[in-house]
Chains A and B, each alone.
Chain A
Amino acid sequence: MVTAEKQDMRIAQAWAVLGQVMDPEVPALSVVDLGIVREIRCEASGLAIDLTPTYTGCPATAAIRLDVENAIEAAGLGRPTIRLVTSPAWTTDWISPDARRRLKEYGIAPPAGSAPKGRRGLFAPEPAIACPRCGSTDTRQTSAFGSTACKALYVCAACAEPFEYFKCI
Chain B
Amino acid sequence: MPDTAHFEFLLRLGDSCLVLGHRLSEWCGHAPELEEDIALANVALDLTGQADMLLAEAARFEGKGRDADALAFLRDAGDFRNLLICERPNGDFAHTIMRQFLFDAWQVELYGALAASSDKALAGIAGKAVKEAEYHLRHSGEWVVRLGDGTPESHSRAQDALDLLWPYTGEMFEADETVAALVAARIAPDPAALQSAWTRTVDDVLAEATLAKPPSGWMQTGGLTGRHSEALGHMLAVMQVLPRSHPGAKW
Contact = CB atoms under 8 A, between A and B. Distances in A.
Judge: A and B partners, yes or no: yes
Given A122-B138, A169-B135, A57 B46 contact: yes
Interface in A119-169: 119-120, 122-123, 142-147, 149, 153, 167, 169
Contacts of A85: 124
B38 A56 contact: no
Nearest to A90: B128
The size bracket of the interface on B is 20 to 34
A13 to B, nearest CB: 29
B132 A144 contact: no
B10 to A, nearest CB: 14
A15 interface: no
A88 B128 CA distance: 8
B145 interface: yes
Query: For chain B, what secondary structure do more than half of its interface residues adopt (helix, strand, loop), or is it mixed?
Result: helix
B60 interface: no
Nearest to B140: A122
A155 to B, nearest CB: 11
A142 B127 contact: no
Contacts of A122: 138, 141-142, 145, 205, 208
Interface in B89-133: 108, 120-121, 123-125, 127-129, 131-132
A65 to B, nearest CB: 14
B227 to A, nearest CB: 29
A95 B135 CA distance: 20
B45 A89 contact: no
A56 B134 contact: no
B127 A87 contact: yes
Contacts of B42: 145-146, 149
A153 B129 CA distance: 22
Nearest to B44: A57
A144 B135 contact: yes
A142 B39 CA distance: 11
A55 B132 contact: yes
Given A86-B125, A88-B127, 8 more contacts: A55-B46, A55-B49, A86-B53, A87-B120, A87-B124, A122-B138, A144-B39, A146-B42
Interface of B: 35, 38-39, 41-43, 45-50, 52-53, 108, 120-121, 123-125, 127-129, 131-132, 134-135, 138-139, 141-142, 145, 205, 208
What are the 5 tightest A-B residue pairs by CB atom distance, in nearest-first order?
A57-B49, A56-B49, A87-B124, A86-B124, A143-B35
6 contacts: A56-B128, A57-B45, A59-B45, A120-B138, A143-B38, A169-B131
Interface of A: 53, 55-59, 85-90, 119-120, 122-123, 142-147, 149, 153, 167, 169
